[in-house]
Amino acid sequence: MTSVPTGLAHLSKSLKPKHSKVDPMAANALTYDASACEFLIGNQRGELLERLHQARQETLADVELLRSGGDVPADKQPLDSGFIDLPQRLLNGEDGLLQRMETSARHLRESIDRMVVLGIGGSYMGLRALFEALCDPYHNERPRSKRNDCPRLYYEGNNLDNDSISALVDLLQTQCTDPADLAQRWGIVVISKSGGTLETAVAFRVFREALENYYGQNSAASRELVIPITGEQGKLRDFSQSKGYGTTFPIPDGVGGRFSVFTAVGLYPAAVLGIDIRALLQGAADITEQFRTAPVGENPVLDYVATCHLLERDHGMDLRVLSTWGKGLEAAGLWYDQLLAESLGKQEQGATPLTVVNTRDLHSRGQQHQEGKRDRVITNVIVETPSRESVELPAVDDSLDKDQLNRIAGKAFPELLQAAIDGTNKAYADDGRPTADLTLPRLDAYAVGQLLQMFMLATVVEGRLIGINPYGQPGVEAYKKNMGDILYGG
Ligand code: PA5
C-alpha cells in the first residue's frame, strides 16, 4: 500500500463536501452532499482537518500493523483492521478464495432449493442487507425459474425465539418430503466467527438433526449440504472437522464480526443467491481507494465523519438517523445500526443510530424529526434510478376521479418519491434542521459495495477521532456471562 500524503497542502481547496464522489468516472459512484448542514458547521470543518487527516492516517497505518504480524500495542487491542484492504486482496486472487467460494456456491445453488442461514449480529445482518438490497423482494415466493435458479433463503440462529425456530422446522418438514426432488432439497450455511455463540450453536443442533433425519444419518448429503463459515479456531471449526464437512470457509483473524460482510460471511451466501460478489468487492475496493487518496471535500468517508462529528460535538446532535428512501435499504440500515452502536457505544460515548424507511416512517417518526428535540442529523440514502420499470399512475374517467388524482395521472412513482424527498428536506431546512444526502445512482452490487464499505471506514475513522477503539464489543460479554451462569449453573 502506498503512503498517503501528510501535508494539508494535499487536501482540497474547498472543504465543503458539496458532492464528494467515489470516482467521477465510475458510472455508479455514490455521492455525499452535506451542503444543507453548512449553516450549522461554518468554518469548524477547516479546524477539524488536521485531526481528520490523522484519523485517516491511523486507520490506514493499522492495516499495515495488522499485516506486518508485529506486536499490537495494548491500547490498540483488539485490532480488526483487516476488512479495509480485503476486497482488493480477494479481487487480486488471494488464496484463490473468491474462486473457491464461487465454485462451491454454484454447486450448492444447483443442489438445494432452500438455504437456511444460521448466524447472529455480524454473522447475520450483512447478508440480510445484501439480500434485501439486491434480490427480488418476493424472492422466496417466485418459482425457481424466476429467481435465477437460486434457492429460497431463511434465517435462524439470530434469536432464542421458540415459535420462530419451530415454524421454520415445521415448514421444512411439511414442504420437504422427497430428498430426491431438487425442489424439496434444503441445506444449512452456519456462520459464527467465534464458533461459540449460543443462539447460533443451539439452532445449528436443531437444524442439523432435522437435516440428518431428512437425508439419512451418515449420508453424503448430510455432510455436503452443511457449509460452516467460521474463524480459524473454535468449537464450530473443531466440530466441522470431526464431522468431516467437505466445505468450510474461513473468517480471517483481524476481521471483526460486524466488519465481515465482505468475507465469506456475506459473500458466500450472497453468491449462492446469484449476487455479483465481484461487483460488490469492486465497489468496496474503489471507495477504499478514494478514502485513502482523496482530499476532504471529495472524500465521502471523511466528509460524512466530519459532518456527523461536528454536529454532535458542537450542537449536541448525537442521534444519527439513517433515512432510507426505499424498502430495499432497510436491512442495510439495521446493519449500520449494529455497526455504529457496537463500535462506538463505549466509555459513555458514541452517537445513537436509528434507521427509518421513508416514506413509511414519515407517518410514524416524521413528526418528531420535524418538531422534536434538535438532537439529530438526518442522512438520507437515496437511489436515483429504480431497478425495475417505473410504475405510472393511471388516469380514470372524470366521473371516477373522486380521489382527484387525475391531476398527477401519468406521473411515475420515482417522481412521486422525489417530490416526497424534496418536500421533506425543505421542511427540515425551513426549520433549521440539518440533513445530508447519500445518493446511489442505482441499487446494484457495485453501489452496495461502496455504501457498506463507506460506513465501515467512517465508523473506524470516527472512533479514532474521538479516541474510542472501534473494534471489539466488551460490553456484550456481561449478558452472555450472566446467561451462561444461569444456564450452566455458574
Ligand atoms: O460484531 C461482532 O463481532 C458481533 O456482533 C458478532 O458478529 C456476533 O456476536 C456473532 O458472533 P459470532 O460470529 O462469533 O457468532
Q: Whose CA is nearest to atom 15 of ligand 1?
A: 192
Within 10 Å of residue 305's Cβ, how many Cβ atoms?
26
* CA 235/CA 193 separation, integer angstroms: 10
CA of 195 to the centre of ligand 1 (A): 9
CA of 146 to the centre of ligand 1 (A): 33
Within 10 Å of residue 79's Cβ, how many Cβ atoms?
17
CA of 471 to the centre of ligand 1 (A): 12
Nearest to 218 by CA among 245, 186, 178, 237: 245
Most ligand 1 atoms within 8 A of CB, residue of 118, 120, 125 to mutate: 120
| pLDDT for residue 19 is more than 60 | no
The active-site residue, picked from 13, 363, 373, 402, is: 363
- Alpha carbon 19 to chain centroid distance? 23
88-275 classified as CATH 3.30.750.210:
no
CA of 467 to the centre of ligand 1 (A): 23
For residue range 174-189, what is the model confidence (pLDDT) as tens digits?
999 999 999 999 999 9
Phi, psi for residue 150 in degrees, rounded to 5: -105, 155
Give me the DSSP letters along 151-174. Answer: PEEEEESS---HHHHHHHHHHHHH
Cell numbers for 86: 480485503
CA of 207 to the centre of ligand 1 (A): 20
* CA 192/CA 189 separation, integer angstroms: 10
Q: Which atom of ligand 1 is nearest to the CA of 119?
A: 15
How high does pLDDT run on average in the chain? 94
Q: Which atom of ligand 1 is nearest to the CA of 191?
A: 13
For residue range 333-347, what is the model confidence (pLDDT) as tens digits?
999 999 999 999 999
Query: In angstroms, what CA-CA distances link 286 with 23, 280, 313, 459?
Result: 8, 10, 30, 18
Q: How confident is the model at residue 416 (pLDDT cuts 50, 70, 90)?
A: very high
Residue 193 annotated as catalytic: no
Residue 480 annotated as catalytic: yes
Most ligand 1 atoms within 8 A of CB, residue of 79, 83, 189, 193 to mutate: 193
- Alpha carbon 287 to chain centroid distance? 15
- 456-485 average pLDDT score: 94
Q: Which atom of ligand 1 is nearest to the CA of 258?
A: 1
- 166-172 average pLDDT score: 98
| pLDDT for residue 453 is more than 60 | yes
Residue 76 annotated as catalytic: no
* CA 303/CA 308 separation, integer angstroms: 9
For residue range 261-316, what is the model confidence (pLDDT) as tens digits?
999 999 999 999 999 999 999 999 999 999 999 999 999 999 999 999 999 999 99
What are the extents of the domains in the chain?
9-77+279-474, 88-275
* CA 255/CA 413 separation, integer angstroms: 40
Calculated CA dihedral for residues 215, 216, 217, 218, nearest 10 degrees: -90
How confident is the model at residue 490, as a pLDDT?
Answer: 62
The active-site residue, picked from 199, 342, 346, 369, is: 342
Q: How confident is the model at residue 489 (pLDDT cuts 50, 70, 90)?
A: confident
CA of 123 to the centre of ligand 1 (A): 6
Residues lining ligand 1, judged by CB closer than 6 Å? 120-123, 192-194, 197, 200, 256-258, 342, 473
How confident is the model at residue 27, as a pLDDT?
Answer: 67
CA of 209 to the centre of ligand 1 (A): 24
Q: Whose CA is nearest to atom 5 of ligand 1?
A: 121
Q: Which atom of ligand 1 is nearest to the CA of 251?
A: 13
- 422-450 average pLDDT score: 98
Cell numbers for 323: 433515512
How confident is the model at residue 20, as a pLDDT?
Answer: 61
Q: How confident is the model at residue 8 (pLDDT cuts 50, 70, 90)?
A: very low
For residue range 48-91, what is the model confidence (pLDDT) as tens digits?
999 999 999 999 999 999 999 999 999 999 999 999 999 999 99
Q: Which atom of ligand 1 is nearest to the CA of 194?
A: 14
How confident is the model at residue 327, as a pLDDT?
Answer: 97
For residue range 209-246, what is the model confidence (pLDDT) as tens digits?
999 999 999 999 999 999 999 999 999 999 999 999 98
CA of 145 to the centre of ligand 1 (A): 35
For residue range 84-136, what is the model confidence (pLDDT) as tens digits?
999 999 999 999 999 999 999 999 999 999 999 999 999 999 999 999 999 99
Q: Which CATH architecture describes the domain 9-77+279-474?
A: 3-Layer(aba) Sandwich (3.40)
Most ligand 1 atoms within 8 A of CB, residue of 156, 197, 251, 268 to mutate: 197
Query: In angstroms, what CA-CA distances link 124 with 87, 153, 257?
Result: 19, 12, 9
Q: How confident is the model at residue 13 (pLDDT cuts 50, 70, 90)?
A: very low
- Topology alike, domains 9-77+279-474 and 88-275: yes
Most ligand 1 atoms within 8 A of CB, residue of 158, 160, 194, 343 to mutate: 194
How confident is the model at residue 9, as a pLDDT?
Answer: 32
Which residues on adjacent β-strands are paired with residue 435?
A: 378
